[in-house]
């Protein structure tokens, strides 16, 4: 009876906390809103059964990486919850796969804590879309999410960052990622941070599809190299990290087996599509000058920030972790390096599938408008 009375009291305190917050008339800070809601939700959560270890919340579940993490986690037997913003076109495909969908928004901190009730692990795949303000989503939103995770007692937190982000503070997105890494490290949470170089899927949208549709392909006159990985392999690595404790409080690089220049990627796509690409080369000096113009216009600040990222990618750098660093990553994940798909194999499978479809429907490359 005493236990039942205690549980009832905890639920009542949680309700009172939410009601008290809703009745506040004076403005409150963002951190105060997060703390009040998180404490209320935590009180309610503590009244229930222990959180199962296979309960995960995927943030950014509709994105390139997020959806692959959801599918892999479901295949591995996890109870998957997806934080999705309320919108006219709901993410029904996530429900069809067997995941639960909860409405929340990183730009609305008060919506976050309730989504964390009953969650053991947060897998944070979210990032701002091109039309969204990067700072509001990738910094303010992530700080609110991490603070809520602290208050709710989340057991594991997986964060996806950018390779070498700490070396480029002049690029807003990379600086934000680096600062978020530090904020997460100081939070006390059992985190794992993966620093990504690039996805195979980006190559499809930027190069393969335009070449198939005989549209212009945009490139730069530099020798930068990127070691792309398949987002499905990244999802596999993510779940491998959760199977043990070796990656707790670690920041690990994730890169593919080979780094490619833009020119090499285009040539590879041309070869597999058996056609010549219409390449439009943008000199790096033009990227820098354009960014300078955009930065002088307040309404174009976000576009200038994203152009800064493109500018860094065009500085003849190699976006690939060292062999030793990747060997350590694979060791901690208990994975075979040969289990990941290289870009050439990925593109070969993609073009074989697409060209087979074109042959079946009797279409030519210039009439295609489908990607898979």
pTM of the full structure: 0.80
pLDDT in tens, 299-353: 334 444 555 556 666 667 888 999 999 999 999 999 999 999 999 999 999 999 8
pLDDT in the model for residue 16? 36
pLDDT score for 319: 87
pLDDT of residue 143: 97
With residue 83 as reference, give the H or E element that holds it.
strand 79-84
Helices (H), the chain: 2-22, 30-46, 66-75, 92-97, 134, 142-152, 172-186, 200-203, 209-212, 231-242, 262-273, 284-295, 301-312, 323-333, 343-361
Predicted confidence at residue 3, as pLDDT, reads: 37
**Residue 280, strand partner residues:** 218
Reply yes or no on whether the pLDDT at 362 is more than 70.
no
Three-class SS state of 117: coil
Alpha carbon distances (Å) from 208 to 212, 273, 347, 360: 6, 8, 8, 20
CA dist 196 → 228, 234, 254, 309 (Å): 9, 9, 5, 14
Residues 111, 368: Cα–Cα separation, whole Å: 42
Least confident of 187-201, 222-236, 245-259, 291-305: 291-305
Measured in degrees and rounded to the nearest 5, phi and psi for residue 304 equal -65, -40
- For residue 200, the tally of other CB atoms under 10 A from its CB is 23
């Amino acid at each position: 009876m005493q236990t039942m009375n205690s549980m009832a009291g905890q639920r009542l305190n949680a309700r009172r906390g939410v009601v008290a917050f809703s009745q506040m008339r004076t403005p409150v800070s963002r951190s105060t809103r997060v703390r009040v809601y998180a404490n209320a939700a935590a009180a309610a959560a503590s009244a229930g059964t222990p959180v199962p270890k296979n309960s995960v919340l995927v943030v950014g579940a509709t994105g390139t990486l997020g959806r692959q993490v959801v599918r892999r986690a479901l295949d591995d037997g996890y109870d998957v919850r997806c934080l999705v913003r309320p919108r006219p076109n709901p993410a029904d495909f996530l429900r069809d796969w067997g995941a639960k969908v909860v409405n929340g928004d990183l730009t609305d901190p008060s919506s976050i804590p309730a989504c964390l009730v009953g969650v053991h692990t947060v897998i944070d795949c979210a990032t701002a879309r091109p039309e969204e303000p990067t700072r509001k989503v990738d910094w303010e939103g992530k700080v609110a999410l991490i603070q809520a995770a602290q208050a709710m007692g989340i057991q594991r937190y997986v964060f996806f960052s950018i390779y070498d982000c700490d070396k480029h503070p002049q690029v807003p997105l990379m600086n934000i990622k680096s600062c978020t890494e530090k904020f997460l490290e100081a939070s006390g949470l059992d985190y794992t941070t993966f620093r990504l170089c690039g996805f195979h899927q980006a190559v499809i949208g930027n190069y393969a599809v335009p070449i198939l549709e005989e549209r212009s392909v945009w490139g730069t006159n530099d020798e930068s190299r990127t070691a792309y990985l398949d987002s499905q392999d990244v999802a596999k690595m993510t779940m491998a990290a959760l199977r043990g404790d070796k990656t707790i409080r670690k920041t690990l690089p994730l890169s593919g087996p080979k780094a490619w220049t833009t020119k090499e990627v285009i040539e590879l796509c041309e070869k597999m599509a058996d056609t010549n690409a219409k390449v439009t080369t943008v000199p790096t000096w033009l990227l820098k000058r354009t960014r300078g113009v955009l930065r002088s216009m307040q309404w174009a600040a976000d576009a200038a920030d994203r152009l800064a990222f493109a500018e860094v990618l065009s500085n003849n750098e190699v976006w690939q972790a060292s062999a030793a660093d990747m060997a350590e990553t694979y060791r901690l994940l208990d994975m075979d390096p040969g289990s990941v798909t290289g870009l050439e194999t990925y593109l070969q499978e993609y073009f074989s599938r697409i060209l087979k479809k074109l042959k079946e429907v009797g279409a030519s490359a210039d009439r295609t408008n489908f990607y898979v």
